Chains A and B, each alone.
Chain A
Amino acid sequence: MTTAVAPAARERSVPPARWDRRWWLVAVLGVGGWAVWTAGVDRGELINERGWGQVGDFFAAMFQPDLSREMLELTVREAGVTVGYALLGSAVALAIGMVGGVLLTERIWSPQHGPMARGRIGWMASRVVFAVPRSMHEVVFGLLLVNILGLDPLVAVLALGIPYGAVTSKVFAELLDDVPTDAELSLRASGAGRVTAFVFGTVPQAFSDLLSYAFYRFECALRGAAVLGIIGAGGLGFQLALSFTSLRYDEMWTLLWALILLSGVADRWSSAVRRRRNALAAETNMAADEVSVVTDVDAAAPAGDRFIRLSALVCAIGVPVAWWWLEIDISNLWDQRARTLGGELIADAWPPAIGAGGLAELIDDSLQTIALAVLALALSFIVASPLSFLARRPAGRTTDPTAVARRLGATLLRFVLLIGRSVPPPVWAFVVVFVLFPGLWPGAVALAIYNAGVLGRLQGEVLENHDPRPARQLVATGASGGGALTFATIPGVSGRYVALGLYRWEVMIRETVIVGVVGAAGLGRRLDQQTSAFDYDGIVATIAALFVVTLAVDFASAAIRRTLR
């Protein structure tokens, strides 16, 4: 029996290929290979065998921190400074976010509110204006502001507040755009003005999401404040840098333990606030239907709201206290000295100069920066994804020995992840440089350790919020744990895992600057050299290159997420 008709797709016995996915796989492997090639694998000497002793010394000091009275007093005082920076920085970010969030909403500019063309231009213009500070890491702001304001606590507060404010604006705008328009439109229909209708009709509905996102920002601000300290802004980070230059590992670990403690508390707090409101979804641009919501979540929401309000109250009290404790003096922003220095900086910075190496070198450094972020992403994703599964809290409270052992192991792993993200990346870079010769690799490894800590935690949250019913049902009908993992849990979370990885990739591009400052590679190293040489017109060119690279990566990441959805 012969048939001339080719079998229809549905009669195939092998799944039809998904070409879009295959192309992405080829692209990912290609980009990964290019990054490895750029970093160099065949350079002969990659690992410095003699460095292991120092790495051992560093980690041995973990268990012998300096607990002398002076050191502890110093640590507590500096921890207060770091928390103060984080609090005030988040407050500035929140203030910017509230204004920027409204300006960036499509709704405010949409046809119902005015002529389409004009609205479109206004919306695009505000997006571009906010994209500039978003593309710059807080350390870049810190380096610039320090030249205007000197060693003033305002440097840290603004360096955190401005870029975080830009990110917060974008997320707030997305949250506000997700609110159904009915309430606002009915207010408008009954004669309310445009702004009034928006403030009373739309904002209240998104309020809890906005607040809970602000807490996530605080968690980030705490880590950011520590990094800023390293470039001289004071706080735990500054003391860390001092102790490192004198190779006092015991002192470093006193400070690092304080950071780990602070970071752990902030993480717990911010997860508790966010548990019921997955505002993070907005940042990772996921459609609402991809955020799996477990059914009993809604029932618990009122209690969540109370907790959010209480937390907000604590912060509302904390901000003026931090203001007083850090002796903030706003007038420093516009006093004679700041105006003179600011004027000089602008005069020096304009026009931008590409420098002796020319455009070719700038492009080469930009490509190195991208390669650095790609390597860091690949390493952290490969490490964090399996760890997030091993580190999850097992369900149930059984007391049999294997369950207890597993729970203990998971707790230990979560602690390791906490250490990974609490130790600032520049410190990881210092440690990694003991064993890896300078270049792209140490920077990539340092960023990867830090980001594995962050990514593992975010992926853990996805896993916790993930709908457990398909896996539970498979186990109930006889599947082994591994079978349910393969057929239900992993395919269920993989989309969100990849989205989170891509979101961290965007962040890592900005973070290349902080490992560059310790001499890793790419635009970061360039920026570091230019800052030490007060080469402001060169700095402007480098920042412009960073802006282009960040935009390109954001664009690529958004495109990938769209096709994978």
Chain B
Amino acid sequence: MTADPLLSFDGVTVRYPGMERAAVGDLTLRIGAGERVALVGPSGAGKSTILALAAGLTVPTEGRVRILGVDSAIIGRRANRAVRSRIGIVSQDYALVGPLRAATNVAAGRLGRWSWPRAVRTFVRPGPIDEIRSALDRVGIADKIWERTDQLSGGEQQRTAIARTLFQSPDLLLADEPVSALDPARSESVMAVLADEAASGGRALVASMHDAPLALNHCDRIIAMRLGRVLFDRPAAEVTQDLLDQLYHLEDRSTA
């Protein structure tokens, strides 16, 4: 298949003010339909910046990012709302609204498809309730549906954020450390849900991950980052323990 990639980076560099080193340097990348990509590497390697670029939340200092065929510089425009509704984001801070019930936060996933009157109606009575419940059920917290979100534990909040994205059912699923607050068994099952979601028809998952074995288990492509640059980018099957050791070991030396 030679269809357009869902996500493409061309010579992308990002510099933050007051930082000497570029957060991401001269990155070129294509991510196509059906791919499940894990971004691995030590903190500060540029994983979150890549996800912010892919979400259109950050624009490159140099180079160009195309998201679902649209230049990221103009994806924020009103006319591109329909395109944005196909991007799903699970951010590291969850971006949930604390005083609202879990159900309402999940319902917000589909705001991209709703007119404002419909949004207001849904705010008062979240729905379709069966689908909201099933999204929460897939991450194992259907019983929390009517709880206030800020009363949930960290792990439950993270799963609520994931359920919101599942309910949204986007084509491009971006997740920043999506299971960082979950225990190992729960991490496995939630990652399986995310990978499963991306496997169905013309979609892709890009997730940054700290836990390399988990990434190898659930993703089929591994992009290793270090100091804003790609160290290696290869199928999960070809990633050896040696390569991973190298990735984290190098960082140890550089920070020592």
> A: which residues have CB within 8 A of B?
9-10, 12-16, 469-470, 472-480, 482-484, 486-488, 491-492, 494-495
Give B contacts to A, CB under 8 Å. 55-57, 76, 81-89, 91, 93, 95-101, 103-105, 107-109, 111-116, 119-120, 123, 125-127, 129-130, 142-146, 168, 170
Contact yes or no, A476 B55, CB < 8 A: yes
B50 to A: closest C-beta gap in Å = 15
A479 touches B101 (CB 8 A): no
Bound-complex Cα distance A59 to B56 (A): 48
Q: Which DSSP category, helix, strand, loop or mixed, fits chain A's interface?
A: helix
Which chain B positions have C-beta within 8 A of A484?
Answer: 111
- Nearest Cβ distance between residue A11 and chain B, in whole angstroms? 8
Alpha-carbon separation in the docked complex, A486 to B118 (Å) = 11
Q: Judge whether B84 and A492 touch: CB under 8 Å.
A: no
Q: Are A491 and B111 in contact (CB under 8 A)?
A: no
Q: List 20 A-B contacts (CB under 8 A).
A: A10-B142, A10-B143, A10-B144, A10-B146, A12-B146, A13-B127, A470-B95, A470-B96, A474-B108, A476-B84, A477-B85, A478-B85, A478-B112, A480-B81, A482-B116, A483-B108, A486-B123, A487-B100, A487-B119, A488-B108
Which single member of B100, B107, B127, B168 contacts A477 (CB below 8 Å)? Answer: B168
A399 CB → nearest B CB, Å: 15
Min Cβ gap A498→B in Å is 11
Q: Are A487 and B123 in contact (CB under 8 A)?
A: yes
Which B residues are in CB contact (< 8 Å) with A470? 95-97
Give the docked Cα–Cα distance between A494 and B99 (Å).
9
Q: Nearest A residue to B117 by beta-carbon distance?
A: A482
Whether B129 and A478, one on each chain, are in contact in the complex, defined by CB atoms closer than 8 angstroms, is: no
Picked from B82, B84, B93, B116, the residue with its CB within 8 Å of the CB of A475 is B84
Identify the interface centre among B96, B97, B109: most chain A CB within 10 Å of its CB: B97
- Contacts of B76 on A, CB cut-off 8 Å? 475-476
Partner of A479 from the list B97, B112, B129, B143 (CB cut-off 8 Å) is B112
Closest chain B CB from A298 CB (angstroms):
15
**A492 neighbours in B (Cβ, 8 Å):** 97-99
Known: A13-B129, A472-B57. 20 other contacts (CB 8 A): A9-B146, A10-B144, A10-B146, A15-B101, A469-B91, A470-B95, A474-B111, A477-B170, A478-B81, A478-B82, A478-B83, A478-B112, A479-B108, A479-B112, A479-B119, A480-B119, A486-B120, A487-B97, A487-B107, A488-B97
A491 to B108, CA, bound (A): 13
Question: Which listed residue, B99, B103, B111, B125, touches A483 by the CB 8 Å rule?
Answer: B111
Given known A474-B111, A476-B57, A486-B120, contact A491–B97 (CB-CB < 8 A): yes
Are A483 and B114 within 8 A (Cβ)? Answer: yes
A415 to chain B, nearest CB (A): 29
Please give, as numbers and ranges, the residues of chain B lying within 8 Å of A478 by CB-CB distance. Answer: 81-87, 111-113
Q: Are A469 and B93 in contact (CB under 8 A)?
A: yes
Pick from A9, A14, A469, A482: contact of B95, CB under 8 Å: A469
| Contact (Cβ within 8 A) B126 A479 | no
CB distance from B178 to the nearest CB of A (A): 14
Closest chain A CB from B223 CB (angstroms):
22
Chain B residues within 8 Å of A475, by CB: 76, 84
**Known A9-B146, A492-B97: A476·B87 in contact at CB below 8 Å:** yes
CA distance A483 to B103 in the complex (A): 16
What are the 5 tightest A-B residue pairs by CB atom distance, in nearest-first order? A478-B112, A478-B85, A479-B111, A482-B116, A483-B111
How far apart are the CA atoms of A480 and B116 in the complex, in Å?
7
> Complex: how many Å from CA A435 to CA B98?
45
What is the CB-to-nearest-CB distance from A297 to chain B, in angstroms, rounded to a whole number? 15
Q: Which of A12, A477, A482, A494 contacts B84 (CB 8 A)?
A: A477
* Bound CA–CA A492/B168 (angstroms): 21
CB <8 Å contact, A477 and B116: no
Chain A residues whose CB sits within 8 angstroms of the CB of B95 once the complex forms: 469-470, 472-474
Q: B116's closest neighbor in chain A, by CB?
A: A482
Q: How far is the CA of A470 from the CA of B161 in the complex (A)?
A: 11
Note all chain B residues with C-beta closer than 8 A to A474. Answer: 95, 108, 111
**B83 to chain A: which residues have CB within 8 Å?**
478
The reply to whether B103 and A15 contact each other, CB–CB distance below 8 Å, is yes
For B142, the chain A residues whose CB sits under 8 A away are: 10
Given contacts A15-B126, A476-B57, contact A483 B85 (CB under 8 A): no
Complex Cα distance, B118 from A479, in Å, reads: 12
A15 in contact with B93 given A480-B116, A486-B119, A487-B104 (CB within 8 Å): no
Chain B positions within 8 Å of A14 at CB level = 125
Task: Give Cα A85–Cα B107 distance, bound, in whole angstroms.
Answer: 55
**Interfacial chain B residues near A482, Cβ < 8 Å:** 116, 119
Instruction: Determine the residue in chain B with the shortest Cβ distance to A12.
Output: B146
Chain A residues with Cβ below 8 Å from B144 are 10
Judging by beta carbons under 8 Å apart, are A483 and B119 in contact? yes
In this complex, the member of A473, A476, A478 whose beta carbon has the largest number of chain B beta carbons within 10 angstroms is: A478
State the CA gap A14–B113 with chains docked (Å). 22
Q: A477-B89, A487-B119 are contacts. A10–B114 as well, Cβ < 8 Å?
A: no
Residues of A within 8 A of B84 (CB): 475-478
Query: What's the least CB distance linking B168 to chain A, in Å?
Result: 6
A16 cross-chain contacts in B, Cβ below 8 A: 146
Smallest beta-carbon distance A294→chain B, Å = 11
CA–CA, A470 to B90, complex, Å? 11
Cα A474 to Cα B142 in complex, Å, equals 22
Cα of A268 to Cα of B113 in the assembled complex, Å? 41
Q: Which residues of B contact A479 (CB under 8 A)?
A: 108, 111-112, 119
What's the minimum C-beta distance from A313 to chain B, rounded to whole angstroms?
Answer: 28
CB neighbours (8 Å) of B114 from chain A are 483
Which A residues lie within 8 Å of B87 (CB)?
476-478
Contacts of B130 in A (CB 8 A): 13
Q: Which residue of A lies closest to B164 (CB)?
A: A477
Rounded to whole Å, the gap between the CB of A473 and the closest CB of chain B is 4
Which chain A positions have C-beta within 8 A of B56? 476
* Structural contact, B112 and A477, CB atoms closer than 8 A: yes
Closest to B56 in A: A476
Q: What distance in Å separates the Cβ of B94 from its nearest Cβ neighbour in chain A?
A: 9
CA A474 to CA B108, docked complex, whole Å: 7
- B residues within 8 A CB of A13? 127, 129-130
Identify the closest chain A residue to B150 (Cβ).
A289
CA distance A492 to B95 in the complex (A): 11
| Shortest Cβ distance from residue A521 to the other chain B in the assembled complex, whole angstroms | 37
Report the separation of the CA atoms of residues A255 and B83 in the bound assembly, to the nearest whole angstrom. 55
| Chain A residues, Cβ within 8 Å of B85 | 477-478
A480 lies within 8 A of B111 (CB): yes
CA distance A482 to B123 in the complex (A): 12
**Cβ contacts under 8 Å, A15 to chain B:** 101, 103, 125-126, 146
A476 and B89 contact, CB distance less than 8 A: yes
| CA A456 to CA B139, docked complex, whole Å | 42
Known: A10-B146, A486-B116. A491 touches B125 (CB 8 A): no
Q: Taking CB as reference atom, which chain A residue is nearest B129?
A: A13
Residue with the highest number of chain A CB atoms closer than 10 Å, among B103, B145, B168: B145
Give the interface centre of B86, B100, B103, B142 by most chain A CB atoms within 10 Å.
B100
- The residue of chain B having its C-beta at the shortest distance from the C-beta of A396 within the complex is B76
Q: Which residues of B contact A487 (CB under 8 A)?
A: 97, 100, 104-105, 107-108, 111, 119, 123
